[in-house]
Structure 1
Amino acid sequence: MACKLKALKADLKKWNEEVFGNVGVKKKKLMAELVELDAMADLRPLTGEELQKKALIVADLERTSLFEEISWRQKSRALWLREGDKNTKFFHRLANSNRRYNSISSLSINGVLSTDSDAISECITNFYSHLFEEEEGDRPLLDGLDFSMISGEDAVWLERPFDEEEVAGFNGDKAPGPDGFSMGFFQCCWDILNPDVMAVLNYFHGLSSFEKSLNATFVSLIPKKRDALEVRDFRPISLVGSTYKILAKLLANRLKVVLPKIIHLSQIQYPHSLCIYQFN
C-alpha cells in the first residue's frame, strides 16, 4: 500500500502543478475574458455563441474560486470556517501568519542568539538525540501488583476484527501526515482504497505487528509561547503517516470505551476534551 501511495504522490504533484496549483493564474485569465465580453456587451448585443461562452466562463470562474478558497483554507487550518464562506483573503493572511509563527528563525545556543540555520538544526538535533536516548539499567518489575481488570466480554470486544464502519467515522478535515494524504482523501477514495487499507488492518490484527515503515515519524516543534528562543520553549509533536494514524485512532477509540471501567475515581483521568500538555 505504501508503494502505491508513493507512486500516486508523483502523479498528484504533477496534477497540482498543471491543474490545481495555478488556480490564481487561471482565475485572472477568466476574469480578463469576462471583462472583455462585458465590454463588448456595452457596445452591441452578444451573439448566441458569445453568450454561451460567457456562461461557461462564469461557471468555470465559480469553480476556480472555490478551488482557491479550499486551497487557502487548508493552508490556514481555519477549521471553524468552511469553503464557500468567501474568506480567501482571510485564509491567505492566516496561512502566512502561521508560516511565520511556525518557523524557527533564531535560537539561543549556549547563551548566544544565533540565526544560522545549520547551527540551529544541529542544536535541536543534539538536544533531542540526547533527550530520547535510552539509559542502560534494570527495568523495574510489576509482578505482584494488583491491577483492575476488564471483563472477558470487554476483552473479546476489544480484540474483535476491524470493520469498515470504524474507519468511515473519522474526521476527514484534519491536517495530512508526512505522506501528504489526509483522512479526507481516504474517505473520498474509499471505494478504491478499501481493499488495501483493510488488508493492512487485518494483517496487524492477525499477527499483532506491521511493517516498520508504517510508523515512521517526523518530529515537529511547536512554540509554547511567542518569541520562543530556547529549545525548551518548543513542544515536540509526532507527525505520523495516514495509515498508522488510522490504526492508532482505531485502537484509541476502542480503549476509551473500557478505560472508565478500570480507572478508579481517585486516579487522575484526563477529561475528554483536553490535551495532555494542558496538565503539565
Structure 2
Amino acid sequence: EEFNSGFGSHTPMVLGQAKVVRYFPNYERTLNLAKTIIKDKLSVRSKADKVIDLSKDEKIEKIMRAETCEELHKIVGEDFWVATWCDSNAFEGKRLEGTRITCIQKPGRLGYDFAIRTPCTPARWSDFDEEMTSAWEALCNAYCGESYGSTELEALETVRDAILRMTYYWYNFMPLARGTAVTGFVVLLGLLLAANMEFTENIPKGLQVDWEAILNVEPGSFVGSVKSWLYPSLKINTSWRDHPDISSAFSTTGSVVAALSTYNDN
C-alpha cells in the first residue's frame, strides 16, 4: 500500500522558522529551480494533487521576483509542490519525474516547511528501472571494448562519464528513504576502482554530490559539474586485483552481514 501511494524520502531545508544546517546551503538553488519550473509549466500542484493555474494576473512575473519560500507561497496562495525532471539518456525526448519541491505553511505564525520529497510510485520505479538498466549496459559496453583493463586515464574517460551518468539517475531515483546518497557514492567509487581508477582526495567542502544531481535536469550538466573536481583526483590503481574474491572471503549471507555490522573505534 505504501509503495502504491508513493513512499519516499523527505529532506527539509527549512522547518518552520528553523534552517536545517545540513541542507539549507541548497535553499537558494532549489528556490530558483522551483521558480524556473513554475515559469515553464505555468502551474503548480496542490496538496490534494490538483492543478493550480498561475498563468493569470501577472503571477508568473511576481513568482520570478520572489526571494523566499514565504513570498512564493503567498503568491500561489496555498500549499503546493512542483516536480523536477531528468532528461532520459535511454529514450530520446522522454522526461523522468525527479524530486518534488514542496512549500507548506505551518499553523499560526510558525513559518514554512520548504523541502524536497521523492515519491517512489510503481510507475516512477519502472521508469528508473529501465533508465538505470540502460545506463548500466552503456557502462559495460564502454568498459568491455578497447578500454578493458586499461591503465591509461585518457583511455578511460568514456568509462568515467558512463559511471557518472548512472550515478546521476540513481541519485534522482532516490529509492531509499535514507542512505541513497552514501550508497550512490560508494558504488561510484567501487566502479571507478573496478576500472583501475582510485579517487584520492575528498569531496569539495560544502558540496553534496546527490544535490548536484537533483538540481540538474540534464545528466550532462551533472557530469560536467562533478568531473571538474573528481577527474583530476583520480589515480591509476590496480592493487585491488591482489585482494581475495569477496565470494570466497564471505561465503554466506550471514558472514556478509557480520562484516558490514563490525566496526572498530580505533
TM-score bucket of the superposed structures, by smaller chain: under 0.3
TM-score normalised by the chain length of structure 1? 0.25
The structure that is helix-richer by fraction is 1
Higher relative contact order (CA 8 A, sep 6+): 2
The structure that is strand-richer by fraction is 2
The structure whose Rg is larger is 1
TM-score normalised by the chain length of structure 2? 0.26
